[in-house]
Amino acid sequence: MQAPELKNLRIFQKLGRVDAKSLESCDQLLLILPPKPATHIFSLLPHGSKLQQVMRKSASGSTPAFTSRLSNKRQTLVVTGTLKKAASSFEQLTLGRKLVAAACGEKAGNMGICVLGFDNIEQATITNNIVAAALAAAFELPTYKSKKSPPTIKSLRLLGADERVDTARTVAEAKGNNLARWLTTMPPNKMDAVKYADLARTMAKENNWSFKRFGSKELSRLGAGAFLAVAQGNDNDSASIVRLRYRPGKKSAKADLGLVGKGIIFDTGGTNLKPFQSMLDMHGDMQGSAVALGTLLAISELKLPIAVDCWLALTENRTGPNAYKSQDVVTAANGKTIQTIHTDAEGRMALADTLVLASRDSPGILFDYATLTGTCVSAITTKYSGVFTNRAVLHPHLKRTGRNCGERVWPFPIGDEFMEDLKSDTADFMQCSPKGAGDHILAASFLAEFVEKDTPWVHMDLSAGDNDGGLGHVGSKFTGFGVRYTMSAILDENLFKANL
């Protein structure tokens, strides 16, 4: 299987005043202004009086309020939206998604983006957030219909943009997010664990990453009994843990950043079988690995000067005569023994051994991503994702990162007191509690037992990875949540450089 085509839309930037010629090049124009823009702003625009009339008919708020056409040769469709000063990143991204959706209701063309009435820094931020929405909408997710859908956007034109508007990071993050959504959307018969590993190998060659696949025999020698317990239900030897390494400098450099992703290609629930509604979208249970891989791609696209290890735990969770069962006892790679309780708690089993391997290399900080628990959704809905860490000092940084980038998170506690609920009479601890309460906290506390060498670690339970109608700038059900977040943690919070 080939990696998806992640082609950039051509982005044209027209600095300074917006003129009639630049407007004439746009089939659609997204116009973003404050709720009560100064009158002189419209004098800076061709068809200013027409646009002012449009705005007068627009209701204030953060939704596309009104559409109209200009009387130029292109009959440019104008979609207006308003943002209050200091609107949050999430509000800006959400407005972008709605504006782009309104503009894409007709034939694809050249889309203009014009942000006026804000200071230069805020204008640059808003413009990039609208661009992020356009790049998400323009990307074609996997489809197997006999009739192909036409493209939604041909190119982007940034009108009246300040010279400080730099879209390089936005484009790189969009590539990572688009890859994550593409992988998550793939039907499970089109991308099994073998094809996924092969795709990672192909991407490694294309991006100059090193690649290693740990198959079941090697994992058995490493004592990875928790991962192999889940994998033993497969009817073939497809499962593996894949390691990818990005080294912009010395090839032997220790990783500044480790990325770990849960890659359950399809989750039946195992012996404790899921009901139909709960199993229907379980091809998306590998999106943690997709986020890890998408983040690695975004880092590589920007050629960031940091060393990164990316680990993908790839398997299915199947039923069958060889599938693991409740009350099995298995030994993980760090020698700790686990009493299995519920076979549908397979994600923490697959991640346990992967975290051991990843943390033994002592990265500066380790992030893992997983669609892990339903209780996290119950706690914070699918609008936020949950975060957990073995460094409580990171909690304000993690929340601030979410606010700044628009992928919002909420921190939860972990620790020994919660492990009391996982006491076992037959092993070091139980895989999960039969009672089920607070399972997101218990799962994260369980995972912390497999982070070695006191490695700083952040676990993201991807509640917001699956949100009907999209979220923020992304309009698809699977949101790719986590790529943009991690890039913000790296570039804005410098978490991999923190003295933790």
The string of pLDDT tens digits covering residues 138-193 is 999 998 998 887 788 999 999 988 777 899 999 999 999 999 999 999 999 999 99
Where are the extended beta strands (E) located within 233-279?
Answer: 240-246, 257-267
Closest residue by Cα to residue 142 from 291, 8, 4: 4
Residue-wise pLDDT tens digits, 23-59: 888 999 999 999 888 878 887 788 777 777 777 765 5
Residue 17 confidence (pLDDT) above 80: no
Contacts of 290 (CB under 8 A, 6+ apart): 179, 180, 181, 183, 184, 261, 263, 480
CB count in 10 Å sphere of residue 86: 8
- Which CATH code of 3.40.190.10, 2.70.240.10, 3.10.150.10, 3.40.220.10 fits the domain covering 10-160? 3.40.220.10
Q: Write down the pLDDT at residue 18.
A: 81
In this structure, of 80-89, 386-395, 460-469, 472-481, the range with the lowest mean pLDDT score is 80-89
Closest residue by Cα to residue 218 from 200, 231, 205, 209: 231
Q: Write down the pLDDT at residue 271.
A: 96
CATH 3.40.630.10 domain residues, the chain: 172-497
**What 3-state DSSP class applies to 242?**
strand
Residue 2 confidence (pLDDT) above 70: no
What confidence tier does 114 reach under pLDDT thresholds 50, 70, 90?
A: very high
Terminal-residue alpha carbon distance, the chain = 40
Could you tell me the CA-to-CA distances from 388 to 269, 349, 458 in Å, in that order? 24, 17, 6
Query: How are beta strands 109-115 and 153-161 bridged, if at all?
Result: parallel
Q: Write down the pLDDT at residue 6.
A: 65
Could you tell me the CA-to-CA distances from 389 to 374, 392, 441, 465, 492 in Å, in that order? 19, 6, 11, 19, 19
Q: Write down the pLDDT at residue 38.
A: 81
Residue-wise pLDDT tens digits, 242-269: 999 999 987 778 999 999 999 999 999 9
The runs of H, that is alpha helices, within 232-326 are 276-279, 287-301
- Does the 172-497 domain belong in CATH 3.40.50.300? no
Residue 411 confidence (pLDDT) above 90: yes
What confidence tier does 60 reach under pLDDT thresholds 50, 70, 90?
A: very low
Residue 437 confidence (pLDDT) above 50: yes
Q: Write down the pLDDT at residue 62.
A: 46
Q: Confirm whether 274 is a catalytic residue.
A: yes
The token pair at 196 is 């996924």
Closest residue by Cα to residue 395 from 351, 440, 459: 459
Contacts of 57 (CB under 8 A, 6+ apart): 65, 66
In this structure, of 18-32, 60-74, 121-135, 152-166, the range with the lowest mean pLDDT score is 60-74
Closest residue by Cα to residue 371 from 196, 184, 142, 233: 184
Residue 71 confidence (pLDDT) above 50: yes
Residue 3 confidence (pLDDT) above 50: yes
Residue 97 confidence (pLDDT) above 50: yes
212, 274, 360, 383: the active-site residue = 274
Instruction: State which amino acid sits at residue 482.
Output: G
**What 3-state DSSP class applies to 469?**
coil
Question: What percent of the chain lies above the pLDDT cut of 70?
Answer: 95
**What 3-state DSSP class applies to 222?**
coil
Q: Write down the pLDDT at residue 52.
A: 78
Q: Within 13 Å, how many C-alpha atoms sit on residue 348's CB side?
A: 28
What confidence tier does 15 reach under pLDDT thresholds 50, 70, 90?
A: low
The token pair at 78 is 């104008």
Please compute the mean of the pLDDT values over residues 9-26 and round it to a whole number. Answer: 79
Q: Write down the pLDDT at residue 55.
A: 72
CATH 3.40.220.10 domain residues, the chain: 10-160
348, 408, 477, 484: the active-site residue = 348
CB count in 10 Å sphere of residue 232: 18
The whole-chain average pLDDT of the chain stands at 92
In this structure, of 153-157, 227-231, 370-374, the range with the lowest mean pLDDT score is 153-157
The token pair at 325 is 């069962």
